[in-house]
Amino acid sequence: MAAAYDSGNIFAKILRGELPCNKVYEDDRSFAFLDIMPRTPGHTLVIPKAPARNILDVAPDDFAYAMRIAQKIAIAAKGAFSADGITLQQFSEAAGGQVVFHLHVHVMPRFAGVALLPPASRKEEPEVLAEHTRRLIAALA
């Protein structure tokens, strides 16, 4: 049996406005914000607003919508950061690499010959995150 969704997870708290974030996009069904421990400049997380633990329990329409927004963010990020490519990642359950149990898609701008930083290896400076937020919002306009 699958584990139940925990409304106390950090992303649920961000959605409720209980924790701050660097929001780059929001609509009635999705939310996108910068990862505070980015693996690359502009590393953004796209989440559905509907409660879903991961890909194993999300409603198909909510997952499809989140992926449409991930594509929108990817296109904006490629331009905003002059990236050579984009990596999308989605992890489900601890054995699959999931750490926060609210469905999220990582959108990471990539640069030829530059490896991703290891996960959770370094917290980015607030000023850098603010600048990256500004660049992504401008690219989405």
Which are the contacts of 68, defined by CB distance < 8 A and separation ≥ 6? none
- Sheet with 30-34, strands from edge to edge, namely 23-26, 30-34, 44-48, 105-110, 85-89
Answer yes or no: 104 catalytic: yes
**Strand, helix or coil for residue 128:** helix
Strands (E), 5-133: 23-26, 30-34, 44-48, 85-89, 105-110
Which among 43, 102, 104, 106 is annotated as catalytic? Answer: 104
Cα(121)–Cα(70) distance, rounded to whole angstroms?
A: 23
Catalytic residues: 104
